Structure 1
Amino acid sequence: MKKIFLAMAVAIVTVTAVSAQKDDSDSKITVSIHQTDQEDGYEGSAEQRCGIRFNLPMAGVVKIEVESVDCLPLAGTAITRQDAFGKTVVGDMAHTSTIITYISSEKSGFTPGKDYYISTLPCNLYGGYRFSIYKDGLVAHYFGVHQKVELGEFISPDDLVESELEFDKPGAPLVEKGRPKMDSKTHKLFVLYRKNPTEANRQALLDQMGVRYDKVVARKKNKLRELEREARTYSIVEHMQGIVDEMVENRETRIRQQFLRFIDPRRDDNPKDAWMVLRGASDATAYIGYAPVTNAEYAAFKPGFTYKSGQDNYPVVNISLQDAQAYCQWLTAQDSKHIYRLPSEEEWILGAGHMPKDVAMNANHVESGLTAVDAYKQSTGACGGIDFWGNCWEWTTTTDADGQYLVKGGSWDAKRDDCRSEKSDDVRSGDKGYANVGFRVVRTDTPQSK
């Protein structure tokens, strides 16, 4: 028995000694939320200091602000210790902040071409970070993705291009009336792939498009963080969270659709006709209608069809999916070279592309009802067609689990965000007509014409 108690006493002493040794190996690092080029805002081991290094070619930049779009701590206090394998790991954190400001001590701003170092806590920034540049009373936002700050290391916004920065007044809302322009790196890879379409060049372009997509998601996440701080009602935050979740969940599908549209080499044989190349479609002969089918076009198929005077060029509505398919069959019967049909959801998305946030359209009751299909012709889809968003929903042949048909694009009485191309939860019964649902047609070659 004495031996057992002795063994237990030795074990307790050993554990206590090991614990004490483990505690002695702990160290603390502290990162301030306010830093300058004279005071790095860091306390701790110099070997463990980490963060973001930047070197800007432009003059007049007086402040940088950095934020983790995923709400991960950038500033605060953290405990570091050695794990069982002798690797330094980060433990508990306290008094944390997701935002850091870094200010120039000179009124003229940071010296162009000089390296500056913003201290941060170790942080996985793969999902994105906002890097805001303040200059001449204006601010431009760069979003970095796919990076991780490790202890003792500094990351850099390596793909930041000065000419691609857009400066605006601080606090000004992001205005997005058109699709984002292609950045220089993506353009170079695109040209390279077109000249030499090898698998390696294809993958390089696809990877870059993934980066480009994730930067858009990071911008949306940052807007969500802003709303969480400033929104007066939670419903606004909840709605934005839904948009972000959809973009993350359907990432691979969206990138694939963009990529297929991107690399499709087809040119429009007749730019002046009513058919637009449906780039990225599985059928290489697919074209999509320039606009939804109008009252006048549908009346040519169905002589007894009537509509209000002066609305020849309005989209035809109150047409069931079956009626729309009958119209397509009528077109096919008159054309020996082509087949006409309704688009699938994916084909519709390929034609429309991303809906710019502030695009001009007939939605959210800006009009008292339907308008002519060309009333907002300045707003074009990815294929060059018009009236994809707002005015009237459009039938697709894609169904949900209950056999209901997906409709796309929103309508004059729909919320703007419900008009987004990616929204995929609005459905209708195919055997009914609806006052705010119309349709657009896809045209392909017959087997004999291919």
Structure 2
Amino acid sequence: MRALTGITICAATVLLMATGGCAKQRITWDLNGRLMSLKLNSPFPLELKRIEPGTFTMGSTPEAGARFSIPEDEKPSHEVRIDRPYFIAVHETTNEHFRRFDPKHDSTAALASLPEAMAADAGLEDLNADRNPVVGVSLAEAEAYCKWLSEECGLTVRLPTEAEWEFACRGGSDSAYCWGDARAESTKFANLAEAGTAEKLGGVEDPAPRDDGKRLTARVASFQANANGLYDMHGNVAEWCEDVYSANYNNAAPDGSANQTGSDNELHVVRGGSWASGMDHARSAARDALPASTEDAMTGFRIVVEMPDSVEEE
């Protein structure tokens, strides 16, 4: 049997029950510790993949600049060393899971953030579907969910740092997207804005070359996963990160820790682009910034669980 910081792991069934008032939440691991599953009293588990420590080049390199117009906030490219393993959610946080925390949350309230031309689209009700990503959540609401889940499960749950997000998204790649540089492959991996959606939104820079069949958000895992087994790292919803936005990487931490100072402390980083984004804004290195109070139909989040300090084998 293995003991893990107040949690017991039974190797046969790999069932964990936290001891600090969270018996109602079941946590399971696979036998090699690579996958964590939080049941959340739901038939659809919240799964997380373990990301191993490593070094990668964060931001856009001069070589990337030869293929894309690279904004200043992706420069300079720099080496980041992630020293500790961490778990990151396989899916973006869904409506079903968020409503375990806030039963009254209604993602369709975020429709008010969309142009009127989108209102006639079929499928608007999908914004509230159980297994679609939650939207209409501010940074504070996303952080409150993480705090609640930490207390429920006896683990440290938080938003990813910007570096953790990009490291997990790349999955060992140094290309524009997790799948490579081929734009035509986007419909296999990402829910992005194609020409029709771009027109209804009043124009989107560099729309996707093919229609992916989704008007707004898509059910999580509707597209292929990246090399780390993570879904929707490009598109679907843009994802809140811990970091305060900075205009460049001149003072970026080499260990990938979150930036807490920036040109405007009211702006926070979001990553990955959304169903309303074109190809450029969905690149692995692409950065966007939003006021922390933003509650729109394009922004959600996924969680990180920190690796416990001690793991004992028996």
Quickly name the TM-score band, shorter chain normalised: 0.5 to 0.7
Q: For residue 286 of structure 2, give the secondary structure of its aligned residue in structure 1.
A: coil
- Any stretches of 5+ residues in structure 2 without a counterpart? 1-53, 108-124, 198-210, 246-262
Kindly report which structure 2 residues correspond to 1:330-341, keeping only aligned pairs within 5 A, or say none.
330-336=148-154, 338-341=155-158
Find the aligned partners of 1:381 and 1:402 in 2 and give their Cα distance.
Answer: 33
Q: For residue 242 of structure 1, give the secondary structure of its aligned residue in structure 2.
A: coil
Aligned to 2:253: none
Find the aligned partners of 1:349 and 1:421 in 2 and give their Cα distance.
Answer: 6
Q: For residue 443 of structure 1, give the secondary structure of its aligned residue in structure 2.
A: strand
Q: For residue 70 of structure 2, give the secondary structure of its aligned residue in structure 1.
A: helix
Find the aligned partners of 1:314 and 1:219 in 2 and give their Cα distance.
Answer: 33
Find the aligned partners of 1:414 and 1:311 in 2 and give their Cα distance.
Answer: 21
Distance 1:327 1:220, change over 3 A: same
Find the aligned partners of 1:397 and 1:342 in 2 and give their Cα distance.
Answer: 6
Distance 1:427 1:442, change over 3 A: same
1:369 maps to 2:198: no
Please identify runs of 4+ aligned residues in structure 1 that moved more than 3 A: 216-220, 306-310, 445-450
Q: For residue 334 of structure 1, give the secondary structure of its aligned residue in structure 2.
A: helix
Aligned to 2:295: 433
Q: For residue 389 of structure 1, give the secondary structure of its aligned residue in structure 2.
A: coil
Aligned to 1:395: 240
Aligned to 2:168: 351
Asked if structure 2 preserves the Cα contact closer than 8 Å seen for 1:319 and 1:433, the reply is: yes
1:324 maps to 2:187: no
TM-fit CA distance, 1:219: 7.6
Asked if structure 2 preserves the Cα contact closer than 8 Å seen for 1:342 and 1:395, the reply is: yes
Aligned to 1:405: 268
Q: Which protein, 1 or 2, shows the higher relative CO under an 8 Å CA cutoff with sep ≥ 6?
A: 2
Kindly report which structure 2 residues correspond to 1:76-87, keeping only aligned pairs within 5 A, or say none.
none
Q: Which has the larger radius of gyration?
A: 1
Find the aligned partners of 1:446 and 1:292 in 2 and give their Cα distance.
Answer: 22
Fraction of identical pairs, as percent: 25
Q: TM-score, normalised by structure 1?
A: 0.39
Q: TM-score, normalised by structure 2?
A: 0.54
TM-fit CA distance, 1:381: 3.2
Aligned to 1:301: 101
Distance 1:346 1:382, change over 3 A: farther
Q: Deviations over 1:344-394 (max 9, x none)?
A: 111110110151333331112343211111111x1x334221101111100
Distance 1:330 1:449, change over 3 A: farther
Asked if structure 1 preserves the Cα contact closer than 8 Å seen for 2:87 and 2:307, the reply is: no
Find the aligned partners of 2:151 and 2:233 in 1 and give their Cα distance.
Answer: 27
Q: Deviations over 1:212-252 (max 9, x none)?
A: x99x855863x5xxxxxxxxxxxxxxxx3437x777x433x
Q: Deviations over 1:275-321 (max 9, x none)?
A: xxxxxx33x24111101100101011112224547711110000011
Find the aligned partners of 1:449 and 1:333 in 2 and give their Cα distance.
Answer: 20
Find the aligned partners of 1:219 and 1:305 in 2 and give their Cα distance.
Answer: 41
Identify the range of structure 1 (429-438 vs 344-353) with the bigger mean alpha-carbon deviation: 429-438
Find the aligned partners of 1:345 and 1:332 in 2 and give their Cα distance.
Answer: 20
| Structure number with higher helix proportion | 1
Equivalent position to 1:311, from 125, 129, 142: 129
* Structure 2 counterpart of 1:413, one-letter code: A
Q: For residue 147 of structure 2, give the secondary structure of its aligned residue in structure 1.
A: helix
Find the aligned partners of 2:147 and 2:311 in 1 and give their Cα distance.
Answer: 18
Find the aligned partners of 1:346 and 1:388 in 2 and give their Cα distance.
Answer: 14
Distance 1:333 1:246, change over 3 A: closer
Equivalent position to 2:304, from 430, 437, 442: 442
Q: How large is the Cα RMSD of the aligned pairs? A: 3.0
* Structure 2 counterpart of 1:383, one-letter code: N
Q: Deviations over 1:89-142 (max 9, x none)?
A: xxxxxxxxxxxxxxxxxxxxxxxxxxxxxxxxxxxxxxxxxxxxxxxxxxxxxx
Q: Deviations over 1:394-439 (max 9, x none)?
A: 0011112101101100011111111112112x21111231210000
Find the aligned partners of 1:312 and 1:370 in 2 and give their Cα distance.
Answer: 12
Kindly report which structure 2 residues correspond to 1:113-124, keeping only aligned pairs within 5 A, or say none.
none
Equivalent position to 1:250, from 76, 82, 93: 76
Find the aligned partners of 1:241 and 1:339 in 2 and give their Cα distance.
Answer: 38
Asked if structure 1 preserves the Cα contact closer than 8 Å seen for 2:94 and 2:130, the reply is: yes
Kindly report which structure 2 residues correspond to 1:23-422, keeping only aligned pairs within 5 A, or say none.
218=63, 221=66, 223=67, 240-242=68-70, 249-251=75-77, 253=78, 256-257=79-80, 260=81, 281-282=82-83, 284-306=84-106, 308=125, 311-336=129-154, 338-353=155-170, 354=175, 355=177, 356-357=180-181, 358=183, 359-360=186-187, 361-364=190-193, 365=197, 366=211, 367-376=214-223, 378=224, 380-400=225-245, 401-403=263-265, 404-422=267-285
Q: Deviations over 1:193-230 (max 9, x none)?
A: xxxxxxxxx9xxx9xx99xx99x855863x5xxxxxxx
Find the aligned partners of 2:289 and 2:168 in 1 and give their Cα distance.
Answer: 19
Asked if structure 2 preserves the Cα contact closer than 8 Å seen for 1:350 and 1:382, the reply is: no
